[in-house]
Structure 1
Amino acid sequence: MHSSTRFRQWAPLLACLIIHITHSTPAGEAILGRRRTPERGAVNVVSYNVQSFPSTLQWAIYVPNADRIEHIATTKVMQSPQLDVVVLQEAFAKSTVKRLANDLSLMGFSHVVKPARHPFKLTGGVMIASRSMLIRESSLTFQTCCGLDCFAAKGIVFVETRIDGKSVGIIGTHLQANDPLCASFSSTAYEAAREVRRDQLRQIRQFVDREENARLDVMIVAGDLNVNGYAEAASDQETEEWNEMMQALQAAPMTRTKHRTTLDHSMDPATNSYMARTGDTKHEHLDYVLSLRLPGRSAPPNATTLRVHRARHPITNADLSDHHPVHGRVPL
């Protein structure tokens, strides 16, 4: 049989096979071939609140996980060739943790720390994925909470790794949210939630000050800190809390830098279709990557820079979470 005739016979089957492989390939495999170009002298960290509860709860009050979580790993911010570490929050759903861990591993973030399970509560929801090997890891559950946050085992996830020859500690966390259920006869909801955050920040700083962390070169905290750092839209109380947080953490100054494709702040219904559906109208910046002073060091760490990005569905262009992801650059 002539080769061209044989090809015409097999062409339909070959086309079907190609389509099947293309559509069944996990998200991470689509970028396995992307060249990594690490930045010398800096750690690049993405923090993203992916807002994913177990399916029943997610379906009841939020945008479903389906056709959303599977696209997170292939967003532009996650594909940055300079990216070293990814810190995720609100990864409460077991299926979400499994999917993101698999996709990030395929992308080269082969060292993943998943949220620790709790017998009676939701997990803390924090995941950390690193390209470089983990030397040490630990976790801590906060001692205080209020409102609905008490149904989750919120706290910190810590990893130590080496990047560009330096020992780097990374804390992933998600602090107390402002919740009407936090209100009491003696304090407003905001005042009560702020007091809980104040105590949680104290617990983070106590962790940083442990003796075993003194040998690190850099300590980073990344996550949804639920403190509004968007000065243009913050109340006097919120501005005061922002300053208090930076002092409590002993954090280096942070600058949000703008680019033609970046945004001003991480929560904004005007730029986030997912958040707009909730009816919230407030503009806030709640998500951070900060460099903290190490124990026994008198010199403050170098200032960090932060960019706010969009993470959108490849077909519908809808935002994938109610938060925008942030990309922080921390000098070594």
Structure 2
Amino acid sequence: MNYNVYMLDHHLGIFVGGTNPNKRAELLANSSVFDDIDVVVFNEVFDNRASQILIDALAQKFGYLTPVLGRTKNGWDHTEGWRSTSLDDGGVIVFSKYPIEYKSQVIFRDGCGADWASQKGFIHTVINKGGERYNIIGTHVQADDDTCNIAPSVVRQDQFAQIESYIFGASRSADEMFFIAGDLNVAKDSQEFSSMLATLNASAPTNYAGAPYSWDPAVNGLAHANYPNFKGQLLDYVLVERSHKQPKNWHNQVLDIVSDRVELPGTQEPYYFYEYSDHFPVTAFEYADETTPTQSVRPNNKPYNAIRLKHRLTGEYVYADPNVSNGWLTYGPDGEQSNAKFKLDNWHPYIGTCIHDHDYVQISRTDGYKDHYWTYSGSTYYTEDHDSSDFMKISRLTESDSCIQNGDVVYIYDHAHHLWTSPNKYLEPSNLYIQGTKELPVGENGLFIIEMDNFEFSDWESSLSYK
């Protein structure tokens, strides 16, 4: 497995926004993500505290590990290219369930932009599994960066050439496999992909399975928070170098895993994500077996993009004003009207994949006034262009750890936050409008049945090869 875990140094929080790497490391270390994994290469374990949480927990689960690339010269059999003036380490570490017989770290000779401040490079490990030796190169190469004075793709090609030169010079037996795992910062659908493979002397996987992208702001909340308008990319790989022993088949499978709730600091109140990282992990294997995931974790049919809220007491639906963009929310009997359908999301990502109880949410129109959100004036709700109520939340009457789905009984509540926080008040139909005047706990008049599509998931079975 290769996994970019987005654990930037916590001192950078003032610049890049807090991402709570310690909590994410704790959740990840105690998850089932690595239960069937023999070797994992982590990228971006820059934060010392977060990486130590991972090390302390996963050292017991795996048994063998390297130091973090570029953090120390101790614990290595070989170090090359060390730069003592660098401000940060290289953020790569390898864990293995089988003995690591050799550990080498090589710092890249070149980099640009922010990457030059860190000791980016690669790790070479030799792992002995039952008498058969496997070579793992773990790396994280040059990222795209507008501050570079040279094209980042040129720097990457030089780094790929340095990796292949090292492999050639290592003089390992041709009977040993050589894997190159990392966030290679090259999109699979780009022209650079073929030149990367050629420079690394690596083969493309025979099978791409799982989610289409390892970095995808459309469905990953952390990625969306930083790059809301970017398209997904497949950037993370486990490749096989061609001059050594070859597998009969080779899968790369991206897993769209989710985490428990991670609380992050906001400007006024904390907010939440359900992500271990802004990347998804990619697993690699010769053949699928009974442990291989065969469908996505996240729904693929955008079920929250067209919801209706049916009042449980009266059977009437919440309406937006069909005649104006910023009209009051009302209610009526016909749920098939276009102004009775809304989009529900939890801010990041824009397309919600799983809404949980007590999540912050925003609700927008799906008729001719797209991206007009529910907000309030006084205690009465209306829709406004790109201006959502900031602290609105949703929950089920009977709470659950699962996602809110079709047929659930829900209530929506909200509060203001100016110089102080006002009490939470639940929304209900009242005097022809949708209003929030009564404090929690919710009364019967504040209960709605959510109507939406049932979840559908991507089937990965056809992309998998079995023995």
Indicate how the Cα distance of structure 1 residues 278 and 256 shifts in structure 2: closer, same or farther if over 3 A, else same. farther
- Counterpart in 1 of 2:198? 247
Higher strand residue share: 2
Tell me which residue corresponds to 2:155.
196
Report what 1:264 is aligned to. 212
Aligned residues of 2:39 and 2:95 also touching (Cα < 8 A): yes
Aligned to 1:107: 61
* Distance in 2 separating the partners of 1:213 and 1:58: 42
**Which amino acid is 2:212 matched to?**
D
Cα distance in 2 for partners of 1:108, 1:143 equals 31
Identity fraction in percent: 29
- Measured in 1, the distance between the counterparts of 2:41 and 2:223 equals 21
What code does the residue aligned with 1:251 have?
A: A
Counterpart in the other structure of 1:180: 146
> Contact between 1:50 and 1:88, CA under 8 Å: does it hold in 2?
yes
Q: Match of 2:85?
A: 120
- 1:210 is paired with a residue whose SS is helix
Are the equivalent residues in 2 in contact too, given 1:69–1:100 (CA < 8 A)?
Answer: yes
**1:225 equivalent in alignment to 2:171:** no
CA distance in structure 1 between the aligned counterparts of 2:169 and 2:249, rounded to whole angstroms: 23
Q: Residue type matched to 1:221 in 2?
A: I
Q: Counterpart amino acid of 1:288?
A: Y
The equivalent position to 2:34 in structure 1, one of 48, 56, 78, is: 78
1:183 to partner: Cα distance? 4.6
2:234 is matched with 285
Write the letter of the residue equivalent to 2:60.
L
Bigger CA radius of gyration: 2
- The reply to whether residue 312 of structure 1 matches residue 258 of structure 2 is yes
Q: Distance in 2 between matches of 1:172 and 1:213?
A: 17
The yes-or-no answer on 1:214 pairing with 2:162 is no
With normalisation by structure 2, the TM-score equals 0.53
Distance 1:58 1:264 in 2: 30
2:26 and 2:115 map into 1 onto residues whose CA distance is 26
**Aligned in 2, Cα 1:255/1:197: closer, same or farther, shift over 3 Å?**
same
Superposed CA offset, 1:85-121 (max 9, x none):
0100011111122111111112133334322326432
Partner AA of 1:97 in structure 2: S
Q: Superposition pairs for residues 26-45 of structure 1, below 5 Å?
A: none
CA separation of 1:256 and 1:264: change in aligned 2, threshold 3 A: farther
Q: Give distance in 2, aligned partners of 1:164 and 1:54.
A: 38
Per-residue CA distance 1:144-185 (angstroms, 9 max, x = gap): 11111101111001110112431100000001001111256x
Higher RCO (Cα < 8 Å, 6 or more apart): 1
* 1:95 paired to 2:49: yes
Q: Is the 8 A contact 1:132 1:163 kept in 2?
A: yes
CA-based RMSD: 2.1
- Alignment CA distance shift 1:168-1:287 (3 Å): same
Structure 1, unaligned runs of 5 or more = 1-45, 185-191, 232-237
Give me the TM-score of the superposition, normalised by structure 1: 0.74
Matched AA of 1:53 = L
Task: Confirm or deny: 8 A CA contact 1:252 1:303 kept in the other structure.
Answer: no
5+ residue gaps, structure 2, are 72-82, 263-272, 288-467
Size of the alignment, in residue pairs? 263
d(CA) in 1 for partners of 2:261, 2:7? 20
Partner letter of residue 53 of structure 2?
A: R
1:130–1:216: structure 2 CA closer, same or farther, 3 Å change rule?
farther
Partner of 1:40: none
- Counterpart residue type for residue 91 of structure 2: G
Q: State the AA in 2 paired with 1:290.
A: L
Query: CA–CA distance in 2 between the matches of 1:284 and 1:252?
Result: 19
The reply on whether 1:58 has 2:9 as its aligned counterpart is no
